[in-house]
Structure formats: C-alpha cells, structure tokens
Amino acid sequence: MSSSSRSAGQQAEHAAADEAANEEEPIAVVFQCSECRSILGDSCAYVTPVDDLNAITLAAVSPAVLIAKELQTSVSGVDTGCGYYTLTCAGCNASIGRMYCSTPRQFDIIRDHYTFHIDCLTSYTIGKPSKTPQESMLLGSASISDYISRLRDIVTTIHERVERLEGMVSTDRAPDRGRKV
Ligand SMILES: [Zn+2]
C-alpha cells in the first residue's frame, strides 16, 4: 500500500478542501490514550499509517505527549537499528509510541514525527452527524438513564400536584353543590 507523503500543512489544507467538497466525510478524528483517554492529537496532523509497525504517525501532538530525553535503539522488529525517543502519555505514564530520529529509507516519512502504536490509541470522530437518536442513546446510556430518572422525578412531582389539584376541585364540586349546577 503506497501512502501519501503530504506534509501536515498540506494535509490540513486538503482536509479543509475535502470537507467543503464532501460534507459526508468526518471533519476530524481525535486520538486519545487508550488507558486514560487523554487527548494526544488529531487527524489534522495525520501523516501516514505505518502498517509494518502497526502504527500511525502524526506531525503534531497535544501537550499530553511527552518525549523521553534518552535516545534508544530498536533491537527487534522491522525497525531494528532505528534510533528513537520513547513517547509517553502525561496522563498515565504509559509508553504510547516512538519519535524516530534515524531510520532506513522505508521509514523516512515518519522520521522526527510522532509515531503511535495503534493499540495505545482510541479515537472518536468529530463532525459526523450520522448517528441515529437510538445510537446516541446507546452511546450515552449512563447520562441518558440519569436524565430519565430526573424526568421520572419531575413527572412524579407533577402527578402529585395534579392529584392535589383534583382533590381541591372535587372538594369544590361537593355532591350537593354538583346537583345544583
Ligand atoms: Zn494515558
């Protein structure tokens, strides 16, 4: 699979153009730490997938991504011999990826960028209003059930008030007065 080698800036421009051209497309994907859900970056800075490493590479990240000071060298896998700095999540200290600083030609595109292992990420899409209300309810079931229990309280209160009012009305319409009307 050949991948695009557009820079992050060009990528962002294209994303804006694509967005205007096709409103069906998601505006952005936000990448989060799979452990603590800290926001690590988004697809506006997307560079490329790296299938060989089961990773994706971003050109820019949030402050939640910390770069280790110590330079390391990979000793196994397809990136053997590559020099890298470990990326960690500021939220949970998990190791989430690598910033490669020396790479063989096949990995030139990811050098000096932020490469995250797919398993360390979770994501959500912004600007994709394709969910049905039922799906939204399933996704937000916790808050929805809170909402329903609040509604139930309100309805109960209203019901009690109505019963009281009905009681007052039926008192007003006492049988003897009722016959007079
Ligand atoms: Zn984390």
Digit-coded pLDDT (tens) for 59-113: 999 999 999 999 999 999 999 999 999 999 999 999 999 999 999 998 999 999 9
Q: Does domain 8-129 have CATH number 2.170.150.20?
A: yes
CA 99 / ligand 1 centre spacing (Å): 17
- Expressed in angstroms and rounded, the spacing between residue 120 Cα and the centre of ligand 1 is 9
Condensed to tens digits (0 to 9), the pLDDT of residues 117-158 reads 999 999 888 775 655 665 555 544 455 456 556 666 766 766
| Ligand 1 centroid distance, CA of 28 (Å) | 20
Query: Where do the structural domains in the chain lie, given as residue ranges?
Result: 8-129, 134-174
Contact between 66 and 125 under an 8 Å Cβ cutoff? The reply is no
How close is the Cα of 145 to the center of ligand 1, in Å?
28
Task: Give 118 Cα–ligand 1 centroid separation in angstroms.
Answer: 13
- What is the per-residue pLDDT for 9? 45
Q: How far is the CA of 12 from the centre of ligand 1 (A)?
A: 26
Q: Which of 60, 93, 100, 47 has the alpha carbon at shortest distance from 77?
A: 100
